[in-house]
Amino acid sequence: MSTTVVNTGTEGKTWGGGNEPLKASYGKMMMWFFIVSDALTFSGFLAAYGFSRFKFIESWPIADEVFTHVPFLHGQELPMIYVAFMTFILIMSSVTMVLAVDAGHKMNKTKVTWYMFLTIIGGLIFVGSQAWEWATFIKGDYGAVQTKGGNILQFVDTDGHRVALGDFVVAEHKDRTAHERKNGLWFVDEGTLPTYTVDEVIKGLESHENVLVRTQIINEEGEKTVLSRAESLKQIKENGKAVVEGANLYVNEYGSPLFADFFFFITGFHGFHVFSGVVINIIIFFNVILGTYEKRKSYEMVEKVGLYWHFVDLVWVFVFTFFYLV
């Protein structure tokens, strides 16, 4: 097509093409726009969390009482410490990422390689920590009784310290076994049965004078309401329906099941972002080692991946605030 006209006569003019008014490459700009849309997705989730929380403002679980565990420190109540550690790990891996980008600008392959490596390690520690958080949350620690209306009744002693079900309830012999597909209807399944039944909890409560029931309702001091001894027995006997140990998408021993649902969904979605970030970082890491960006004479790819990685950190800052602090 030698007759094709290639000159438009507008070269060098504003609309002549080849102009970059934003002084950013196509890839970088698209990464920014993706980040905006992803930020809106996350805000949608967090706003929905806020909606449910405002809806149940008088009975929402207190995060400080839920996330109190630190690995290797059993039985100690250390709220926030582990999440703070996770936050620091993620910020730290953001720092190594931005150092990798900086080294990339200086075309320093060795430094980029090392900083990318450290970033990946940080990401893996974070994902591992999150898996541990999930496991602890699913397992639960004290156990509770759910009422007919879906409220959660927890147990405390007369000093207000939490009491685990195992401390005052005795499991008796049960004829009821968990229904499995292999010994009943093959298309019906049921989860693990709780260790205790409601009747056993009632017996345990009757024989332990110092155990009281604590409801979900938050009083004026910002603490959960503790019932009197008579009220406690009445509540459990009249309304107790199921024993709850730990948390899943249906029940949650810490309070509203919605809290568990949002926890799994939002931290899960964020954890998935971290996981994909780690995978992308590993791909870029190998590209760096293979010298792809040396040949390209630009480490801009590291910068683009860096934007995504920082965004994951940015989201965590908000998740941290709204799930653990506020």
Partner 1 sequence: MGHEHKLEILRGLIKFKSNTQKIWGVLILLSIVTAVEVVLGIYKPEALMTQVLSMKLLNWIFIILTIVKAYYITWDFMHMRDETKALRRMVVWTAVFLICYLVFILLQEGGYIEGVYSSGFVKRDF
Interface contacts to partner 1, rule CB under 8 A: 21-24, 29, 32-33, 35-36, 39-40, 43-44, 47-48, 50-58, 64, 79-81, 84, 87-88, 91-92, 94-95, 97-99, 101-102, 105, 147-149, 151, 217, 222, 239, 298, 303, 306-307, 310-311, 313-314, 317-318, 320-321, 324-326
Q: How far is the CB of 292 from partner 1 (least distance, A)?
A: 18
What is the rounded distance in angstroms from the CA atom of residue 184 to the CA atom of residue 282? 47
Nearer to partner 1, 233 or 307 (CB): 307
b/e map of 15-42 (b: 16 or more CB within 10 Å)? Answer: eeeeeeeeeeeeeeeebeeebeebeeeb
Q: How far is the CB of 315 from partner 1 (least distance, A)?
A: 9
Q: How far is the CB of 299 from partner 1 (least distance, A)?
A: 10
Q: How far is the CB of 131 from partner 1 (least distance, A)?
A: 22
Nearer to partner 1, 169 or 288 (CB): 288
Report yes or no: 194 and 242 within 8 Å, Cβ to Cβ: yes
Q: How far is the CB of 72 from partner 1 (least distance, A)?
A: 19
What is the rounded distance in angstroms from the CA atom of residue 257 to the CA atom of residue 263? 10
Residue 50 CB partners (closer than 8 Å, separation 6+): 322
The helix-helix angle for 26-55 and 300-319 (nearest 10°) equals 10
Report yes or no: 244 and 144 within 8 Å, Cβ to Cβ: yes
Nearer to partner 1, 75 or 149 (CB): 149
Q: How far is the CB of 137 from partner 1 (least distance, A)?
A: 18
Nearer to partner 1, 10 or 321 (CB): 321
Nearer to partner 1, 163 or 273 (CB): 273
| Closest among 218, 219, 234, 214 to 152, alpha carbons compared | 214
Locate 148 and state its tokens. 């007919």
Nearer to partner 1, 38 or 167 (CB): 38
Query: Strand 211-218 and strand 240-244: pairing?
Result: unpaired
